[in-house]
Structure 1
Amino acid sequence: MKTIIITGASTGIGKTTAQLFLEKGYNVVINSANLGNLQKTFDELGHKNQLAMVHGDVSLIATGKKLVETALERFGSVDVLINNAGIFQPKSFVEVEEEDLDRFLNINLKGTFFTSQAAVKQMLRQGEGSIINIGTVLVDHAIEGFPATAPISSKGGIHALTKQLAAEFGKNNIRVNAIAPGIIRTPLQAKTGVDDADSLAGLHLLNRIGETSDVAQLAFYLAESNFVTGEIINLDGGHVAGHSIQ
C-alpha cells in the first residue's frame, strides 16, 4: 500500500482527494491548521486503519517534518505529497500591506517549499515519489475584475518551484507536477466574497464551474503516472484556452 500526505485536507479539494485515495487503497495522512475541521473530517472519512491526521500550520517547517514522521511511523513510507494547503483573497494591489504579502508567501509558497523538502528527503531514500502542487490558472490568465496580486504572486512561485524540482530530482524518479484549477466549488469561494460560485461559470468554455472531484481525479492520475513530470496542468473548463462570447 502506498502512502500519501495531503495538506489542507479538512474541507474542499483536500477532503475530497483524501476520500478518493482512501477508496483506492492508499494510506492517507491528512493535515489542517484548523483542528476542529480536521477532527471532524478524520471522523467522517472512516478507514481508520489507513488514516492518520496531523494538526499544524504548513508555514511552520516543523509541520512538514511532522507529516513525514507520522507517515513513516504509521505506514512506513512517503510515496505521494499533495501540497493543497493554501489561502486566497482578492485585494487591490495599492491596498496590499506587507503583512498581507507575508501571509500568502508564508502559507502558500513557504509551506509548499518546506513540506516538499521534508518529503523529498524521504523519497530520495526510497528511490521514487510524486509531488503534486496546487497552483491557479490566474498565474497565466489574469482577470481585471479580480485583483489578487499577493496570492497570485505566491502561486506563481509554486509554478516555478514545480518545474525546478522536476528538473532537479527527475533522475531520482521523483515526479513533480502542479494542478492549476479554475473556479472550483469549495468553501474557499465564500471566504473570498463569492456568494454564488456558479455565477462565474462564464469564465470557462464549458460554462460551468469545476467540482472538487475533478481535482481529486486528476491528482490520482498524477500520483499513479510514472512518466509525467514538470507539468502545470490547467483544470479549468477551458478558462485559459479561450473565451465565449455571450
Structure 2
Amino acid sequence: MKTVMILGGAKGVGREILSACLEKGYNVSFCGRDAREGKEIIQASGKADRLYFHPIDLNSIREIENFHRETLRRFTKVDALVVYAGITPVASLTDTDEEVFDSVFNVNLKAPYFLLKHVVKSMMEQNSGSIIFFGSAHMDYGEMDRTAYALTKSSLYTLSTHISHHYARHGIRSNYVVMGWTDTEGELKLRASEGKSESELKREASAAIPMGRMLSKQDPVPAVMYLISEESCMTTGSLIRITGGEYI
C-alpha cells in the first residue's frame, strides 16, 4: 500500500488529491493550520486508519521535521510527496513590503525545501519515490501584482529539475505540474475581497482561457495520480501544463 504525503491537503485541489488517494487505497498524511478542520476531514472520510493530519503553520519550519517523523511512525514510509500548499499575495514589485515577501517565501519555498530535505533522505533509503510540485503559469514572469509569488514558483521548478537530475540514481523522480486558473476556495475568497463574485470571475476566466472555462478543482487530479502511480516510473524532470491553454 502506498503512502502519499501532502504539503497541504485540507483545501482546494489538495483535498481532491487526498480523496482520490483514499479511493485508490493509499495511506495519506496531510497538514494544515486548523486542527479542527483536519479532524473533521478524517471523521468524514470513514477511513481514519489510513489518514494522518499534522497541525502546522508553514510560516515556521519548526514542525516540518515532526510532520515527516510522525508520518513515518504512522505509515513507515513515504512513496510520494505532493507539494501543494501555497499563498498568493497581491503585490507588485514596487508595492511588496517585507512582511508579505517573507510570508510568501516561507510558505511557498522555505517550508517545501526543508520538508524535502527529510523526505528525500527517506526516499533514498528505500530507493524509490515520486515528488510532485504544484506550480503556476506565473512561474514564467508572472502577472504584475504577483511578483514574489512568481519568484517562488519559478524556484520550485528549479528545485524539481534539480532533484530529478541528481537523485534519479536513487529511484526518485520529480515532476512539476503547472496549474492554471482554478476555482479554489482561496481564489474565490481573494476575488470576493476585490468585490468580484464567483459568476463574474468565471466569466472573466472563460474569456481569457483558450479552452473556454476556468479549471475545476478536479481537473489536475488525474495527472497527479498518474505521477504518484508506478505507471509513471520513467517520468521525471517533466513539466505538465494543466491550464486550459492559458499559456498558448
> When the two structures are superposed, what TM-score results if normalisation uses the length of structure 1?
0.92
Aligned counterpart, 1:193: 191
TM-aligned CA deviation for residue 141 of structure 1: 6.0
Deviates more, 1:108-117 or 1:84-93: 84-93
Q: Deviations over 1:168-222 (max 9, x none)?
A: 1011110111111011111011232253241312222111111111222211111
SS at match of 1:92: coil
Q: Does structure 1 retain, via aligned residues, the 8 Å contact 2:7–2:112? A: no
Q: Is the 8 A contact 1:84 1:133 kept in 2?
A: yes
For residue 237 of structure 1, report the CA deviation from its aligned partner: 0.6
Deviations 1:59-100 (A, max 9, x none): 433433222222221111110001111111222321110111
Partner of 1:207: 212
Matches of 2:246 and 2:55, distance apart in 1: 34
What's the TM-score once normalised by structure 2's chain length? 0.91
How far apart are the structure 1 equivalents of 2:2 and 2:243? 29
Percent of aligned pairs with the same amino acid: 28
Q: Which residue of 1 aligns with 2:95?
A: 95
Q: Which residue of 1 aligns with 2:225?
A: 220
Say which SS state the counterpart of residue 94 (structure 1) adopts. Answer: coil
CA contact (8 A) 1:130 1:175 kept: yes
User: Does the 8 Å CA contact 2:30/2:54 hold for their aligned counterparts?
Assistant: yes
> What are structure 2's unaligned runs of at least 5 residues?
none
How do 1:1-246 residues align onto structure 2 when only pairs under 5 Å count? 1-140=1-140, 142-143=142-143, 147-193=145-191, 195-196=197-198, 197-199=201-203, 200-224=205-229, 225-241=232-248
CA RMSD in angstroms comes to 1.5
Unaligned segments of structure 1, at least 5 residues: 242-246
The total of aligned residue pairs comes to 239
Structure 2 distance, partners of 1:112, 1:202, is 34
Secondary structure of residue in 2 paired with 1:213: coil
* Conserved? CA contact 1:112–1:133, under 8 Å: no
Q: Deviations over 1:18-74 (max 9, x none)?
A: 000010010101111222322222222221111111111234334332222222211
Divergent runs of 4+, >6 A: none
